[in-house]
Structure 1
């Protein structure tokens, strides 16, 4: 009988221990469930915050796009205060550039010997343009002197022409300049007046040959 009582007591104690363990497990489960609910609530809050931030960013981008579009429209409607300069018109051809080239251009001006006799640090286009300018100025000055019948200034132009003709080794031009200078020495304006068109034509032919070298 005693043995049965002991066994009953042991069984009862064991049951009590199981009940205690089950109660602890239930408490732990309840705590875990509470933590899970809290984590889910926190996650839901973060998702809501993210959605709000994305919506605010989208709204800001839309506003920025509207402002950019409005600015572009305003710029299109506003007149340009600094318009781009119009393309410069091509300079018209000088009168001598329309003259036909002579049969022997080198008799009037030969570029290679000129460069060999007069070496310079300048480029060929610069040298040729300087020659053109010098001859044109001399021609204009002589035209004015002829209009005023100023033999002294005509003779100055003739001697300058001689100097240019010698430098560029232009045989026809040297001859014309020499003959004009001789007429000036005689103070014979009538002869100069008759002779001037031929001299002017020779200068223009020389200009034409130099111009062709510049634009070759």
Structure 2
């Protein structure tokens, strides 16, 4: 058996190490450490170091102790290599937290390398992360707008939220933009909300008897 693991690059963080052996056309890679952002570069180096004529690739994940969403990119890269090179590939011995991540991601823990499944789940998770980031970024201005409505119209926090949400639906305007218009209009010499937003706010307020 011959080692196929590439030498570690100087300065490369030791968050993941992949050792490899090839015998009778079968490559066995053993991953150790953490599957995090940047791990795909290490896998790409290990795959590039495989000799020609490899007919099967098995990856032992038993020593992987942690996995974040970067691990899905790792699997996507491995699945892409398998499809592109027409080399059957498997991963085995998932355990602990990485196994739980596969389960939460909706992947088949016995066969997470189904390329379409990994790619689709990765795309869905990235969209969910983007939505969460946008929601977090929008939260301060929405809270400010709720405070403005509560002060101006003597309503509760929940009622203020309902007003913003309904105005967003009535005017076909993003909730964050509604909140920003309300907050800006409450400032000294601030611009009033656009006409369609003002009309939607009036309708929403009237339904609450304000």
TM-score (norm 1): 0.20
Structure with the largest fraction of strand: 2
TM-score (norm 2): 0.20
Which of the pair has more CA radius of gyration? 1
Structure with the largest fraction of helix: 1
